[in-house]
Amino acid sequence: MKKALLAATVVASALTASLVAAPVATAASASTGWDLPWSNHHSRTTSIPFTEATVTADAGGTFTLKWKAQGVRRVEIKANGKVVAKGGVQGTAVVSGLPAADRQWFDFKGDRGEGLRLADRHIALDGAVNFRDAGGYRTTTGRWVKMGEVYRSDALDKLTAADLAKLQRLRVKNVFDLRMTSERTSAPDKVPAGATYTVADVFAGSGSFQTLPKSPDEAVKAMVDAEKAMVGGEGGKKAYRQVFEGLERDRDRAVLFHCTAGKDRTGWANAALLTALGVPADTVMADYLASNDYRKAANDAILSHLPAPQAAVYKPMLDVRAEYLNSGYDEVKAEYGTFDHYLEDGLGIDARELKQLKKDLLVG
């Protein structure tokens, strides 16, 4: 990875962190239709009847609940131990009047099968806009990624005392910082009391970064090449190995990994985790692209302060785009052949450890 190309990603992340805007409440779903033909998924019978289920926190303290289920006649949803919604195999409900909470949880239960515990994926904080849960997704085998176990975020240096207290109550025990030395020095992390802090520098050893792209096309190429470096670079392999080993080792979660904008280095970490757990490719892509929604206000503020020609160059670096993430998967295929081989040979996660990770993080 050339130094000049990595410079774009690092500087764009630093610019993104310079303005903090109000969090966007929800992210739009997106489906790209791409797949991972080299991944092996084995069918199984799931005990959770829900094929779709989401919780969205709306303005004014209301929540929109949506679900689809198979093999049941009735669905009942509880919050704080009380029934707040009922319906059939498919439904939508709007719930209001619940007491204030750090995070409102809902228990979805059909008249058959296991239940499902969900919350809005986004965690509202004063000092971060892209802090969200990695879970709440259904896998290709019908299991679900647990929520409240793994979080992803943008920079933590602007967290308030109230934010830190909230994260402590949410049991954030381990924090992995994916940023470079310069980023960590200029904007040191604030972590919850009692949490273990680990540096997992994705671009470690890549040298100093001095130049920026001069055109939008160069900026796009920089982002594509940076994504490939996250997969194939020695710093990236070591950093993501640290994250995966931390996830597999730490049974007393929650674990948090983050970078500056929470979209590129963090985006690959989460995409790799979800792919390893068996989440469908279009769902992984939607989760990745959601950073465009969560970061929209902050990114728009940055671009509004730049002359139009400069804004045109910076916009590709502030965005997340399907071609960026796909370049990471292309690098996996080119270097390792299969995603399982990337996990084992690149990150040191063997079949036994992957099985344990699935046991810990999946339900159903």
- Residue 232's alpha-carbon distances to 36, 152, 236, in angstroms, are 18, 22, 7
Percent of all residues in the chain with a pLDDT value above 70, rounded to a whole number:
87
Residues 294, 298, 299, 304, CA torsion sign? positive
**Token pair of 268, please?**
């690959």
Count structural domains, the chain. 1
- The pLDDT score that the predictor gives to residue 343 is 97
User: For residue 248, what pLDDT is reported?
Assistant: 85
Average pLDDT, consecutive stretches of 10 residues, N- to C-terminus, the chain (364 residues) = 44 44 34 41 70 95 97 97 97 96 97 97 97 98 97 98 97 96 96 96 73 92 94 96 90 90 98 98 98 97 96 97 98 97 96 94 96
Contacts of range 144-147, beta carbons closer than 8 Å, 24 or more positions apart = 144/48, 144/50, 144/116, 144/362, 144/363, 144/364, 145/274, 145/277, 145/279, 145/361, 145/362, 146/361, 146/362, 146/363, 147/117, 147/118, 147/119, 147/121
Residue 359: how many CB atoms within 10 A of its CB?
8
The catalytic residues are 259
Predicted model pTM = 0.89
Tokens 């992210």 label which residue?
A: 27
DSSP assignment of 27-62, as one string? Answer: ----------TT--------S--EEEEEEEEPGGG-
Residue 110 domain-assigned? Answer: no
Q: What is the pLDDT of residue 13?
A: 53
| C-alpha to C-alpha distance for 215 and 312, rounded to whole angstroms | 8
End-to-end CA distance of the chain: 41
Q: Is residue 285 in some structural domain?
A: yes
Does a structural domain hold residue 307?
yes
Q: Is residue 61 part of a domain?
A: no
Position 59 scores a pLDDT of 86
Residue at 86 is within a domain: no
For residue 331, what is the domain's CATH number? 3.90.190.10
The confidence score (pLDDT) of residue 12 equals: 53
Q: Could you give the CA distance from residue 79 to residue 107 in angstroms, rounded to a whole number? A: 6
pLDDT, position 207: 52
Give me the helices (H) in 128-264, please: 161-169, 181-186, 216-232, 234-249
**Cβ atoms < 10 Å from Cβ of 71:** 10
Residue 109 in any domain: the answer is no
Please state, in angstroms and rounded to a whole number, the distance separating the CA atoms of residues 341 and 334. Answer: 11
| Gap between the Cα atoms of 302 and 300, Å rounded | 5
Average pLDDT of the chain is 89
β 132-133/150-153 pair status: antiparallel
Q: What is the dihedral of CA 112, 116, 117, 118, to 10 degrees?
A: -130
Strand partners, 297: none
Nearest Cα to Cα of residue 105 among 125, 79, 126: 79
Determine the structural domain holding residue 312 and report its residue range: 3-48+119-363
pLDDT at residue 232, as a whole number: 94
In a domain, 174, yes or no: yes
Residue 275 resides in a domain: yes
